[in-house]
């Protein structure tokens, strides 16, 4: 058993997972057991990607928010006796010309340099994390991780065989298109065109028609699921593993997209840091589900809906830190 810390720093949030990972012999002896045993699982919205799509740089105030969270996470790692830390940074940091400032600040606070990973590695880690919870399934699963700046699509059965990272996410689409409260029809059309163009490119790399199961990850998807379930407060146990129909997903995405900010803030399950970007996240998920449904229907085996997983890239990072996945 090893105790590891995984930190995922994306465009919108920075998340920490401290977990115990069984040794390889223990996993082999109990193949049905959980891949990870959580000690701490936390998330803070720091909006590191604030303005990056427009300026190409990480804003000083966004860096300070992120550094403050990293310092708090460092204290938790020390308190819990963490043996190994892996810190992964994704879309916003990949795009920033001043990412050296970010790297130096994180290393000073945590003692490890953040790894600015490619979209392809981000996709592979998300796939490993998701399947650690929902299992391999029958046939190919399409795992979709909707982030703040990018969205990853990974197709495979047990291991990834095709993947693509799209530069569309809830923060990027909000900043680029959805400026009104609620967004106008023209803004929604422009964002939809952006997302659809990214999906056109994704289909050059990932055969969506081969999907036998669709799995959605990360905060936008889990929030949409909470809405579809009518939860009075956020409930991870109710959300994790939930299978929603295509119709339920479209209905909740449409509602969240057209809600005002005040209406979104009134939902008991809504994280305060997601209020102003969930409309764009809902639009991204809606367009992806519609495209996958259309392609699988054309192939003669239409998906009926999508599974929501609370386990994602954070779990994949923890498993990789322990050497449990490549």
> Residue 260: CB partners within 8 Å, gap ≥ 6?
181, 182
* Residue 67: CB atoms within 10 Å: 19
- Secondary-structure breakdown of the chain: helix, strand, coil percentages, each rounded to the nearest 5: 50, 20, 30
Task: Choose from 7-16, 193-202, 267-276 the range with maximum mean pLDDT.
Answer: 193-202
Q: How far apart are CA 222 and CA 318, in angstroms?
A: 20
Which one of 88, 119, 150 terminates a domain? 119
Average pLDDT over residues 1-16: 89
Helix (H) or strand (E) holding 30: none
Average pLDDT over residues 16-26: 78
pLDDT at 24: 54
Query: How distant is the alpha carbon of residue 204 from its chain centre?
Result: 22
Residue 221: give its domain's CATH number. 3.30.420.150
Domain count, the chain: 2
Q: Which carries the bigger pLDDT value, residue 180 or residue 118? A: 180
**319 is a domain residue:** no
Across the chain, how many H-helices and E-strands are there? Answer: 14, 11
**326 is a domain residue:** no
**324 is a domain residue:** no
Q: Are residues 115 and 137 in the same domain?
A: no
Q: How far apart are CA 297 and CA 247, in angstroms?
A: 15
pLDDT at 93: 77
Residue 153 near residue 164, CB atoms below 8 Å: yes
Q: Are residues 98 and 175 in the same domain?
A: no
Q: Are residues 135 and 274 in the same domain?
A: yes
3-state secondary structure of 56: coil
Share of the chain above pLDDT 90, in %: 63
Q: Which carries the bigger pLDDT value, residue 186 or residue 322? A: 186
**325 is a domain residue:** no
Average pLDDT over residues 303-308: 94
How is the beta sheet containing 37-45 ordered, strand by strand? 37-45, 13-21, 2-9, 84-89, 115-116
Q: How far apart are CA 285 and CA 246, in angstroms?
A: 11
Helix (H) or strand (E) holding 116: strand 115-116
Average pLDDT over residues 115-133: 80
Q: Are residues 150 and 80 in the same domain?
A: no
Average pLDDT over residues 136-156: 87
pLDDT at 248: 97
Average pLDDT over residues 125-133: 82
Tens of pLDDT, residue by residue over 92-101, are 677 788 988 9
Q: Which of 21-25, 43-47, 143-147, 294-298 has the lowest mean pLDDT?
A: 21-25
pLDDT at 129: 85
**320 is a domain residue:** no
**322 is a domain residue:** no
**126 is a domain residue:** no
Q: Which of 58-67, 95-104, 258-267, 299-308 has the lowest mean pLDDT?
A: 95-104
Q: Are residues 138 and 268 in the same domain?
A: yes
Which one of 75, 91, 119 terminates a domain? 119
> Residue 300: CB partners within 8 Å, gap ≥ 6?
none
Q: Are residues 97 and 140 in the same domain?
A: no
Which one of 98, 119, 140 terminates a domain? 119
> Residue 75: CB partners within 8 Å, gap ≥ 6?
none
**321 is a domain residue:** no
Residue 37: give its domain's CATH number. 3.30.420.40
pLDDT band at 192 (very low <50, low <70, confident <90, very high): very high
Model confidence at 25: pLDDT above 70: no
Q: Are residues 176 and 304 in the same domain?
A: yes
Q: Are residues 205 and 97 in the same domain?
A: no
Residue 195 near residue 203, CB atoms below 8 Å: no
* Residue 147: CB atoms within 10 Å: 34
| Residue ranges making up the domain that contains 277 | 131-313
pLDDT at 31: 37
pLDDT at 132: 77
Residue 42 near residue 63, CB atoms below 8 Å: no
Q: Are residues 17 and 145 in the same domain?
A: no
Q: Are residues 59 and 161 in the same domain?
A: no
Residue 233 near residue 256, CB atoms below 8 Å: no
Q: Are residues 21 and 169 in the same domain?
A: no
Q: Name the CA radius of gyration of the chain, rounded.
A: 19
> Residue 79: CB partners within 8 Å, gap ≥ 6?
none
Q: Are residues 37 and 108 in the same domain?
A: yes
Model confidence at 147: pLDDT above 60: yes
């Amino acid at each position: 058993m090893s105790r590891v810390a995984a930190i995922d720093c994306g465009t919108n949030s920075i998340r920490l997972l401290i977990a115990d990972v069984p040794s390889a012999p223990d996993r082999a002896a109990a193949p049905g057991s959980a891949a990870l045993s959580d000690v701490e699982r936390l998330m803070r919205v720091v909006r590191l990607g604030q303005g990056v799509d427009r300026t190409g740089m990480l804003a000083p105030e966004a860096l300070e928010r992120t550094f403050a969270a990293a310092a708090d996470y460092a204290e938790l790692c020390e308190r819990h006796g963490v043996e190994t830390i892996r810190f992964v940074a994704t879309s916003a940091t990949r795009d920033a010309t001043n990412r050296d400032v970010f790297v130096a600040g994180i290393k000073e606070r945590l003692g490890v340099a953040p790894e600015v990973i490619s979209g392809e590695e981000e996709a592979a880690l998300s796939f490993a994390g998701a399947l650690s919870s929902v299992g391999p399934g029958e046939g190919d699963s399409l795992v979709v991780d909707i982030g703040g700046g990018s969205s990853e699509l990974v197709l495979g059965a047990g291991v990834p065989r095709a993947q693509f990272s799209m530069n569309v996410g809830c923060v990027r689409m909000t900043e680029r298109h959805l400026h009104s409260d609620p967004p106008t029809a023209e803004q929604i059309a422009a964002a939809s065109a952006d997302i659809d163009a990214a999906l056109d490119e994704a289909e050059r790399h990932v055969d969506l028609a081969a999907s036998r199961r669709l799995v959605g990850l990360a905060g936008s998807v889990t929030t949409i699921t909470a809405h579809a379930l009518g939860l009075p407060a956020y409930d991870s146990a109710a959300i994790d593993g939930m299978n929603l129909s295509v119709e339920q997903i479209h209905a909740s995405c449409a509602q969240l997209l057209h809600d005002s900010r005040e209406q979104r803030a009134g939902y008991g399950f809504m994280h305060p840091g997601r209020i102003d970007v969930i409309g764009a996240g809902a639009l991204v998920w809606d367009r992806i589900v519609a495209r996958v449904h259309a392609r699988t229907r054309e192939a003669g085996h239409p998906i009926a809906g999508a599974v929501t997983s609370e386990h994602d890239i954070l779990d994949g990072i923890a498993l990789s830190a322990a050497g449990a996945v490549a």
